[in-house]
Structure formats: structure tokens, C-alpha cells
């Protein structure tokens, strides 16, 4: 065969592969969308997602990489130009993909889809797949590219230089506020997962001494040998999960590790403060290593488990709660599905990681495509797996775990009767049996998504191994896995929040900015931890479960940051003289502005007290003035009224910030497009790469 014929054949073969991939994707997506009333196999979701990801990566990311951003391997990256062997290091692209993925994948893509499953698997799944390919991946990729062309500058700096000081300040402010709400809501998830659970609490408590041990090992015995220390930690932590069962069985010991939600919340706040002021090597870093290992391992196992079991989805495609009356969170599909699932579809927080360490480590410009776009596809797949894990549960069981007592009733009989009356049959005995099987006292009203995800994961894992007796172990393994990296995020987030605050205050009085000056460290630590601690405690007190008010706030905050990032991206594209392609960032941005503004408006002004904060506040005031509460309850109710008004104010603040950044950017775009302003792109100078001409 001559060379031309062989080339033609191979291009034909490649074409055939992509055509069949498209067909498989279309057929699976059709199956997912059309079989709404009969149970379907989880594999349809998995295949549909995988095909669309591959097609999106092959065609859309290629288009963005070479037509829009014109990635150029002849141009030296910061890692090559500024190579210092430390911060700027040309790194293997697969290693970097691992680093980047480990950094972006947190509890968000696990919790969000679990909560959104109350609408049925369809809305969440479609948003996760489409939102990721057209929104999240684009955002991550464009910001990674922008930062890479600017020596690894942060999102805030880029916003300030490319859009203007208003945008820069909004970005900084958005980061601090999103951090506060994020930490509060994930701490609430942990609290709800561990309340009245001696097994879970013991396991998580043990992670502290294990981390301290690893920290000492890494500091004094074998400096920097992270891999060894992590393996030791991993063995100990599995032992702790197994040992928790014995602790839960011995009443005297179990009592030591049994807390109600309020005490647990206070303990977590105290822990967060301690962890954020202790040296990083002692607690934070070793815990981070451990949680990263456990996280990546569990995600990998979950993928294997789903492939091995190929479970049926018990949840229908659409539930009756698409009308906005859902018990997990109130509100219709639009806008609330798009706020509830942020991570996994579009997550603004990623833009901080994409403009952090990663751009300083890229060897060749074209690799930004795999690392920026590819790792977000992986995170989106994690969200699909979480959706599967939530939907393998019987809907009645799912709602019994995830509905707050304030909505369905406090006693097991009342709660299960309410849920059964919705058409999702479940009985109190069934829930008690399940609780016994996983080694918990009760699984009712365990809101926050973690317990139901853990039951789903345990179901899949024990299904793989074919042994129901291991259900309890896997359940607590899954709880430990979620709690472990949520606590890591609390440590790391509180510390970063403290640094940002110190940085800000340092402008007013120099010593406050010094991260080694203990009075300032203490003071700012207290401020940051009390800020998220307040919202956490508010969530614990909330009769509607807290998730109902805090998770949408978090979603709005996260999408606000995504709007900032996409505004910056659009500005850069316009300045690069690529205005005709600006829709790649503009379209997802417009969608997110619509979703966040509608959600914010509804969360503030909606007449239904379960949706609107102000409606709930006036309902509660009505209770007091109507004399429907006793003297003790008046104080509590007044606190609830204040909290609802505070939440309304915070939501309004987020909505205003979105408008400010959008208007500021539009002004800049307009000035450039009518040529009133000469676009100045603040990229680092072009230096020809020494590796130019080599194959990547």
C-alpha cells in the first residue's frame, strides 16, 4: 500500500470511530431522556456522558485551543522561561493533570448532584454534561491559558489588569465571600453526617492523631517522604474505620463519641480555628496528603464499582418536585438545578486553581488543553457518578434520608408516611433495617447529601464484592472519605481566608499584614472562623435543615465567581482581536447571569416561605405576633428571623456584585469594540521556546 492510500484509510478509520462515537452518545442520551417512566440502567448515563466528553474534547477543545486561543508550542511557557526548579518547573503533562484534578475535585461534585437528584436524574445529568462541556471546561481552560500567558498571575490580578480596578476588587471580594459560605455549608454537611453517629465521629476524630503522627514523621524522621507517610496513614485510617464499629458497640465508649448537631458544630468550629493557626506541617499538610489519596482512590473504585455492578436507577427521570415543592431544597428546575449543581458543571472556584500553581508548571502551551479542559471533564464525570450513586437508592429511601424533619415530620412513622403519600413508598421499619445494616441509629433526616451518597456508594461497593455484611464498613468508609476531605478544605480554606484578610488589612496598618505576627494571626483567624462558624450554627439551628438556605447561597456565590472568570475570559478574547469567537465564554456567562439573578431574586422575594428568605422572616414574625409561640421560643424565632434577613442581605450583595462586574466588563468591551480605546493585552513577552520543533 502506498503512503497516500494508507493515510486516507487511517483518516477514514478515524472518521468512522468518531461517527460511531457520536451515534453511541446520541443513542444513550436519547435512552436517558426518553425512558423517563421505566427504570433504566446507570450505564446509559455513563456511556452518554463519556461519548459527549470525548467528542467535546476532540472537537470543541481543539477548536478553542487552535482557532480561538491559538496555543503556540513555539512560545516558551513560564515554566521554561522562569524555571527555578521550585515554583516554575516544566512538568510532565500527565503528572500535572493528576495534580490539577486532585486540586479541583472536592465535595462539591459529590454533594450537588445528590441534592439535585430530588428532581429526578434527568435535569441534573443533562446540566452536568452540557454545562461542563460548554461552560465549566471552557472557563477552566481559558483562565488557565490567560494565567499561563501572564507568568501564572492570579484571577484577581488578571481581572484588575485586563478589565479594571472595579473588577479586580469585585473578584477579591467574591473570593472571600464565597469562601465563607462554602466553608459553612460543607461544615454543615459533615455535621449532619456525623450527628448521633459514634462510629463516624470516632473515625473522623482518629484522623487528627493520625495526621499529627504523619506530620511529625515528615518533619523530623523522614523529611519530605510524603509517599511513605501517606501509606502508613492510609493503613491506620482503614484500621480506624474498622475499629469504629467496636467503639460504637461499647456503650461507654460510644457515649464519648456521640454528639448532637449543635455540639458537633461547635467542635468543628473550634477545630477549624486550631487548624488554621497551627503550623501547616503539623496538621494541615499531612491531612491533605491523606485525604487526596483517599479521595482519588475512592473515585477510582467508584468508577470500577459502577462498571462492575451496572446498577439500575430506581429514581425516575423526573420526579413530581420539578414543580418547586421539593423537600431537599425548594424551587423549580430553573434556576435552582443550575445553582444546586455548580461543581461538576461550572464551578467558579476552579478559576482560582487554574490561575494558581498549575500555569507555572506547564511545559508546552498546547498541554493546557488536556490539563484545563480535560481535568474538568473528569470532575464532571465524578458528578455523574454521584448522580448514579444517589439514584440507585429507592426514591422513598432517598427522600427519607434527605428530607429535613421540619418538612416531613420528626417521628419515623410521620416522616415515612409523608414521603409515601408523595408516591415514593417507604416504611419506618425499612429505614430502621437500613440504619441497622449500615451501623447507624437512624438514617432519617440526615440532610446534606453525604449520608445518602454513602449509602449509595456502600450499595455499589458491597454489590461488587457480593457481601452485604460489608455494607456497614463501606458506609463508614464513604462517610470518612467525605468528612476527611471536607475537614481538609476547612483547614486550608480558613487559612487562605486568613491570609487574604491579613493581606487586605495590611494595607491599612502594616503589622496586620504580617503572617508571622501572632496577634494578627489570632485576630484574623478568629474573624474568618467566626464568619463561617456563624453560618454553620445558623444552619444547624434551622428547622428546615439549613441546607435549604445555605446550599443555594453557596451555589450563587460559586456561580458569581464563574461569572467573574468568564467576564475576564471574554475581555481577553476581545482584546486578542477574537471578538467573533467571544461567544465561547459569553454564552455560558449569560446563562449563569440569568440563573444567578433569577435565583437570587427568588431567594429574596419569593412569596413561598420555603424559597424566599423575606417571606419566611415575615411568616415567623406572624407566629410571634399571633401569640403562637411560648416565651422561650420567641427568642429562638427572633434569631431565625434575623438569620433569614441576613441571608437575604447576603444574597442581595452577591446579586449586586454580579451586576457590577458584568456592567464594568461590558463598558470595557464597548469601548474597545467602537475603537474608542486601544486594547492593551498584558501578556508576558513572546520568547521562542528552546523546545520548539520537538514533538510533544
Partner 1 sequence: MKVLRTLWKILAELTGDSDYDRYCAHLRALHPGTRMPTESEFYLARLNDKYSRPTRCC
- Residue 81 within binding range of partner 1, rule CB under 8 A: no
Stretch of residues binding partner 1 (CB under 8 A), selected from 33-41, 226-234, 297-305, 395-403 = 226-234
**CB of 369 vs partner 1, minimal distance in Å:** 20
Q: Which is nearer to partner 1, 397 or 489 (CB)?
A: 489
**CB of 195 vs partner 1, minimal distance in Å:** 22
Q: Which is nearer to partner 1, 28 or 558 (CB)?
A: 558
- Write the secondary structure of 94-131 as one string of H (helix), E (strand) and C (coil): HHHHHHHHHHHCCCHHHHHHHHHHHHCHHHHHHHHHHH
**Cβ(245)–Cβ(167) under 8 Å?**
no
CA distance 228 to 218: 9
CA distance 183 to 329: 19
**Cβ(541)–Cβ(264) under 8 Å?**
no
**CB of 89 vs partner 1, minimal distance in Å:** 7
**CB of 646 vs partner 1, minimal distance in Å:** 22
Using CA atoms, how far residue 455 sits from 246, 386, 439, 463, 636, in Å, is 20, 11, 11, 12, 34
- Residue 168 within binding range of partner 1, rule CB under 8 A: no
* Residue among 35, 62, 81, 219 that touches partner 1 (CB under 8 A): 219
Contact track, partner 1, 569-608, x by CB under 8 A: ----------------------------------------
- Residue 350 within binding range of partner 1, rule CB under 8 A: yes
- Residue 230 within binding range of partner 1, rule CB under 8 A: yes
CA distance 338 to 136: 12
Contact track, partner 1, 326-345, x by CB under 8 A: ----------------xx--
CA atoms lying within 13 Å on the CB side of residue 110: 28
Number of residues that bind partner 1 (CB under 8 A): 56
- Residue 501 within binding range of partner 1, rule CB under 8 A: no
**CB of 106 vs partner 1, minimal distance in Å:** 5
* Residue among 489, 512, 562, 565 that touches partner 1 (CB under 8 A): 489
Q: Which is nearer to partner 1, 105 or 241 (CB)?
A: 105
Stretch of residues binding partner 1 (CB under 8 A), selected from 101-109, 433-441, 452-460, 523-531 = 101-109
Which single residue is written with the C-alpha cell 468550629?
Answer: 269
Q: Which is nearer to partner 1, 157 or 420 (CB)?
A: 157
* Residue among 113, 326, 395, 493 that touches partner 1 (CB under 8 A): 493
Coil vs helix vs strand at 41: strand
CA distance 201 to 195: 8
- Cite the DSSP H helix spans in 343-466: 350-354, 367-368, 375-391, 395-402, 405-408, 412-421, 428-438, 450-465
- Residue 385's contacts (CB-CB under 8 Å, 6 or more residues apart) are 299, 302, 303, 306
Q: Which is nearer to partner 1, 313 or 371 (CB)?
A: 371
* Residue among 31, 89, 266, 614 that touches partner 1 (CB under 8 A): 89
- By CB under 8 A, the residues from 282 to 301 that bind partner 1 are 284-285, 288-289
**CB of 501 vs partner 1, minimal distance in Å:** 12
- Residue 513 within binding range of partner 1, rule CB under 8 A: no
- Residue 357 within binding range of partner 1, rule CB under 8 A: yes
**CB of 223 vs partner 1, minimal distance in Å:** 4
- What cell numbers appear for 610 in the block? 420555603
Q: Residue 686 CB: number of other CB atoms within 10 A?
A: 10
Q: Which is nearer to partner 1, 225 or 263 (CB)?
A: 225
Q: Which is nearer to partner 1, 20 or 92 (CB)?
A: 92
- 195 alpha carbon, distance to own chain's centre: 22
- Residue 517 within binding range of partner 1, rule CB under 8 A: no
- Residue 657 within binding range of partner 1, rule CB under 8 A: no
First-to-last C-alpha distance (Å) of the chain = 29
**CB of 395 vs partner 1, minimal distance in Å:** 27
CA distance 402 to 337: 16
- Residue 235 within binding range of partner 1, rule CB under 8 A: no
- Residue 353 within binding range of partner 1, rule CB under 8 A: yes
- Cite the DSSP H helix spans in 35-107: 42-55, 62, 78-81, 93-104
Using CA atoms, how far residue 583 sits from 171, 347, 587, 670, in Å, is 22, 19, 5, 15
* Residue among 495, 603, 606, 610 that touches partner 1 (CB under 8 A): 495
- Residue 359 within binding range of partner 1, rule CB under 8 A: no
**CB of 565 vs partner 1, minimal distance in Å:** 13
**Cβ(501)–Cβ(509) under 8 Å?**
no
Stretch of residues binding partner 1 (CB under 8 A), selected from 222-230, 321-329, 380-388, 441-449 = 222-230
- Residue 280 within binding range of partner 1, rule CB under 8 A: yes
Stretch of residues binding partner 1 (CB under 8 A), selected from 102-110, 297-305, 476-484, 625-633 = 102-110
* Residue among 187, 341, 352, 531 that touches partner 1 (CB under 8 A): 352
* Residue among 43, 68, 104, 564 that touches partner 1 (CB under 8 A): 104
Coil vs helix vs strand at 362: strand
Catalogue the long-range contacts made by 670-678 (C-beta closer than 8 Å, 24 or more residues apart): 672/574, 672/575, 673/574, 673/579
Using CA atoms, how far residue 573 sits from 517, 567, 585, 675, in Å, is 42, 10, 9, 15
- Residue 225 within binding range of partner 1, rule CB under 8 A: yes
Q: Which is nearer to partner 1, 227 or 688 (CB)?
A: 227
**Cβ(471)–Cβ(317) under 8 Å?**
no
- By CB under 8 A, the residues from 105 to 134 that bind partner 1 are 105-108
**CB of 687 vs partner 1, minimal distance in Å:** 17
**CB of 570 vs partner 1, minimal distance in Å:** 22
Q: Which is nearer to partner 1, 352 or 445 (CB)?
A: 352
Q: Which is nearer to partner 1, 401 or 557 (CB)?
A: 557
Q: Which is nearer to partner 1, 230 or 452 (CB)?
A: 230
- 82 alpha carbon, distance to own chain's centre: 32
CA atoms lying within 13 Å on the CB side of residue 463: 20
Q: Which is nearer to partner 1, 141 or 257 (CB)?
A: 141
For residue 513, give the nearest of 527, 523, 528, 501 by alpha carbon: 501
- Cite the DSSP H helix spans in 119-260: 121-131, 137-148, 155-162, 165-194, 198-216, 226-249, 251-256
Spell out a b/e string for 210-231, using b for 16 or more CB atoms within 10 Å of the CB, else e: bbeebbebbbeeeeeebeebbe
Q: Which is nearer to partner 1, 38 or 84 (CB)?
A: 84
Phi-psi label, residue 627: left if phi above 0, alpha if psi -120 to 50, beta otherwise: left
- 338 alpha carbon, distance to own chain's centre: 13
Binding site for partner 1 (CB under 8 A): 83-87, 89, 92, 95, 98-99, 102-108, 154, 175, 182, 186, 218-220, 223-227, 230, 280-281, 284-285, 288-289, 342-343, 347, 349-350, 352-353, 356-357, 485, 488-489, 492-493, 495-496, 499, 515, 554, 558
Amino acid at each position: 500500500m502506498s503512503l497516500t492510500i494508507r493515510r486516507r484509510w487511517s483518516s477514514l478509520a478515524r472518521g468512522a470511530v468518531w461517527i460511531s462515537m457520536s451515534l453511541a452518545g446520541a443513542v444513550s442520551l436519547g435512552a436517558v431522556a426518553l425512558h423517563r417512566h421505566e427504570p433504566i440502567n446507570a450505564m446509559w448515563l455513563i456511556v452518554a456522558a463519556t461519548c459527549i466528553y470525548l467528542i467535546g474534547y476532540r472537537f470543541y477543545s481543539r477548536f478553542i485551543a487552535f482557532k480561538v486561543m491559538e496555543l503556540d508550542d513555539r512560545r516558551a511557557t513560564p515554566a521554561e522561561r522562569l524555571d527555578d526548579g521550585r515554583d516554575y518547573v516544566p512538568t510532565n503533562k500527565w503528572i500535572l493533570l493528576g495534580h490539577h484534578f486532585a486540586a479541583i475535585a472536592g465535595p462539591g461534585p459529590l454533594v450537588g448532584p445528590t441534592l439535585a437528584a430530588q428532581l429526578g436524574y434527568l435535569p441534573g445529568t443533562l446540566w452536568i454534561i452540557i454545562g461542563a462541556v460548554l461552560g465549566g471546561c471552557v472557563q477552566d481552560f481559558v483562565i488557565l491559558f490567560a494565567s499561563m500567558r501572564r507568568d501564572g498571575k492570579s484571577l484577581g490580578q488578571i481581572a484588575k489588569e485586563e478589565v479594571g480596578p472595579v473588577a479586580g476588587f469585585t473578584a477579591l471580594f467574591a473570593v472571600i465571600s464565597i469562601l465563607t459560605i462554602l466553608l459553612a455549608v460543607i461544615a454543615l454537611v459533615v455535621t449532619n453526617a456525623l450527628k448521633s453517629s459514634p462510629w463516624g465521629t470516632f473515625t473522623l476524630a482518629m484522623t487528627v492523631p493520625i495526621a499529627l503522627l504523619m506530620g511529625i514523621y515528615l518533619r523530623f524522621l523522614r523529611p519530605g517522604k510524603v509517599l511513605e507517610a501517606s501509606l502508613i496513614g492510609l493503613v491506620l485510617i482503614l484500621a480506624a474505620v474498622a475499629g469504629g464499629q467496636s467503639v460504637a458497640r461499647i456503650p461507654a465508649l460510644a457515649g464519648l463519641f456521640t454528639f448532637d448537631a449543635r455540639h458537633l458544630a461547635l467542635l468543628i468550629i473550634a477545630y477549624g480555628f486550631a487548624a488554621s493557626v497551627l503550623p501547616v506541617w503539623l496538621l494541615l499538610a499531612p491531612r491533605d496528603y491523606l485525604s487526596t489519596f483517599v479521595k482519588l482512590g475512592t473515585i477510582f473504585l467508584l468508577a470500577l464499582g459502577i462498571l462492575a455492578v451496572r446498577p439500575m436507577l430506581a429514581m425516575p427521570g423526573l420526579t413530581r418536585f420539578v414543580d418547586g415543592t421539593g423537600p431537599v431544597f425548594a424551587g423549580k428546575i430553573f434556576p435552582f438545578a443550575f445553582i444546586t449543581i455548580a461543581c461538576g458543571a461550572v464551578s467558579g472556584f476552579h478559576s482560582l486553581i487554574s490561575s494558581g500553581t498549575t500555569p507555572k508548571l506547564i511545559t508546552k502551551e498546547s498541554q493546557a488543553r488536556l490539563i484545563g479542559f480535560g481535568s474538568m471533564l473528569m470532575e464532571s464525570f465524578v458528578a455523574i457518578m454521584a448522580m448514579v450513586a444517589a439514584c440507585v437508592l429507592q426514591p422513598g429511601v432517598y427522600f427519607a434520608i434527605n428530607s429535613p424533619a421540619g418538612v416531613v415530620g420528626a417521628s419515623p412513622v410521620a416522616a415515612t408516611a409523608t414521603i409515601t403519600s408523595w408516591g415514593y413508598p417507604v416504611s419506618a421499619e425499612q429505614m430502621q433495617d437500613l440504619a441497622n445494616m449500615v451501623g447507624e441509629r437512624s438514617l432519617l433526616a440526615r440532610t446534606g447529601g453525604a449520608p445518602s451518597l454513602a449509602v449509595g456508594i456502600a450499595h455499589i461497593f458491597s454489590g461488587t464484592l457480593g457481601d452485604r455484611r460489608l455494607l456497614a464498613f463501606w458506609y463508614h468508609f464513604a462517610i470518612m472519605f467525605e468528612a476527611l476531605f471536607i475537614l481538609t478544605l476547612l483547614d486550608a480554606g480558613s487559612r487562605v481566608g486568613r491570609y487574604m484578610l491579613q493581606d487586605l488589612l495590611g494595607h491599612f496598618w502594616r503589622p496586620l499584614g504580617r503572617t508571622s505576627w501572632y496577634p494578627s494571626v489570632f485576630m484574623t483567624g478568629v474573624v474568618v472562623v467566626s464568619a463561617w462558624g456563624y453560618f454553620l450554627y445558623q444552619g444547624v439551628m434551622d428547622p428546615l435543615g439549613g441546607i435549604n438556605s445555605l446550599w443555594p447561597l453557596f451555589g450563587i456565590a460559586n456561580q458569581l465567581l464563574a461569572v467573574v472568570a468568564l467576564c475576564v475570559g471574554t475581555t481577553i478574547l476581545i482584546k486578542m482581536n477574537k471578538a467573533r469567537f467571544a461567544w465561547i465564554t459569553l454564552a455560558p456567562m449569560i446563562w449563569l447571569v440569568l440563573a444567578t439573578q433569577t435565583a437570587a431574586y427568588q431567594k429574596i422575594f419569593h412569596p413561598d416561605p420555603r424559597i424566599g428568605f423575606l417571606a419566611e422572616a415575615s411568616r415567623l414574625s406572624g407566629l410571634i405576633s399571633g401569640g403562637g409561640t411560648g416565651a422561650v421560643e420567641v427568642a429562638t424565632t427572633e434569631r431565625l428571623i434575623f438569620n433569614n434577613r441576613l441571608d437575604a442581605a447576603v444574597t442581595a450583595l452577591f446579586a449586586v456584585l454580579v451586576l457590577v462586574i458584568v456592567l464594568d466588563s461590558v463598558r470595557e468591551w464597548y469601548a474597545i469594540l467602537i475603537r474608542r480605546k486601544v486594547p492593551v493585552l498584558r501578556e508576558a513577552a513572546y520568547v521562542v521556546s528552546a523546545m520548539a520543533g520537538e514533538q510533544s
